[in-house]
Amino acid sequence: MSKSNYDLVIIGAGPAGLTAGMYAARARMNVLLLEKAVPGGQILVTDWIENYPGFPEGISGFDLSEKMRIQAEEMGLKIEIAEVHSLNLSKELKEIVLKDRSIITKSLIIASGASPKNLGIGEDKFIGKGVSFCATCDAPFFKGKTVVAIGGGDTAVQEAIFLTKFAKKVYLIHRRDELRAAKILQERAFENNKIEIVWDSVATSIEGFFGVESVKIKNIKTNEEKVLKADGCFIWVGILPNTSFLNDAVETDEFGFILADTKMQTSVPGVYAVGDVRDTPLRQITTAVGDAAIAALSAEHFIENL
């Protein structure tokens, strides 16, 4: 076998990548974590996290990610800011191609996450200030308030129903005259007097000063426009896995999320997928760090058996 640079390389420094790095470094593996931007991932733009164990009073996304980064680095994890351009996984040793060089590793954990699909209606300005892509994460912040929800699939309807546990009013905006969600979810939404479905409509802009104050919508059949006063806006028009560098190197589902088994093993031996980039029923910090612990242990066992 040719000489490798590392036992393990991790792509992505969100909660999953940092956790995998911490476990690998603690196991005295020669490990490198690659992050194209800033360690922390999506939680960096999460204003407040209340459902992560050990922080009963809550913690900001920035503070939690910093604690994770510091803990991992204190255990010996090396983090490098570098963007992965492509992978070569056809041989026993894995090649990771960066802009200026290639890295050879015995095993690989892909923790590159996923990004919400944008509507381009000004939502970027209000992320963490009223705009959210996760009711499970942020619904409690809207107790007794009015919110707008956008989408019509299973996730949108299910999350809109969840929002009614906290919000006093939920406008569900859908561009068609019927929902795409499962019939049982539709029935629950129709029966919920806190949900008002706005049919045949699209959101055209999110307005506010310090935070969300209103959402402009337009009926695509009549072209009628109106403004909905709201304290928040939840967007569920899908998410995209951050896998532009993958180039079919591992098997994915129809949406591009990486397929992995219970040990986080992908279709390529020694390559693992964790967190939001994986085909998974729940995308939360808790599930991401759980995936990562399993993957780090799996990678350790894989290397031992080489």
Q: What is the CATH number of domain 118-235?
A: 3.50.50.60
The matching CATH number, chosen from 2.60.260.20, 3.40.630.30, 3.40.50.10860, 3.50.50.60, for 6-115+239-304 is: 3.50.50.60
How many of the other CB atoms lie within 10 Å of CB of 212? Answer: 23
Could you tell me which residues come within 8 angstroms of residue 160 by beta carbon, excluding any fewer than 6 positions away? 135, 149, 170, 172, 189, 195, 234
Could you tell me which residues come within 8 angstroms of residue 299 by beta carbon, excluding any fewer than 6 positions away? 7, 8, 24, 29, 107, 109, 270, 272
Residues annotated as part of the active site: 134, 137-138
> d(Cα 111, Cα 241) in Å, to the nearest integer?
10
Handedness of CA 259, 265, 268, 273 (dihedral sign): positive
Handedness of CA 279, 285, 289, 294 (dihedral sign): negative
Q: What is the pTM of this model?
A: 0.78
> Does residue 41 contact residue 13 with C-beta atoms inside 8 Å?
yes
Judge if 6-115+239-304 and 118-235 fold alike in CATH terms.
Answer: yes
* 231 backbone dihedrals φ, ψ, rounded to 5°: -95, -10
3-state secondary structure (DSSP) of residue 111? coil
**pLDDT tens digits, the chain, 306 residues: what are they?**
456 799 999 999 999 999 999 999 999 999 999 999 899 988 886 767 888 999 999 998 899 999 999 999 999 999 999 999 999 999 999 999 999 899 999 999 999 999 888 899 999 999 889 999 888 778 999 999 999 999 998 889 988 999 999 999 999 999 999 999 889 999 999 999 999 999 999 999 999 999 999 999 999 999 999 999 999 999 999 889 999 999 999 999 999 999 999 999 999 999 999 999 999 988 889 999 999 999 999 999 999 998
> Does residue 119 contact residue 133 with C-beta atoms inside 8 Å?
no
> How does DSSP classify residue 278?
B
| H-helix or E-strand spanning residue 185 | helix 183-191
Where exactly are the structural domains of the chain?
Answer: 6-115+239-304, 118-235
Six-digit token string for 179: 């929902």
> Does residue 253 contact residue 236 with C-beta atoms inside 8 Å?
no
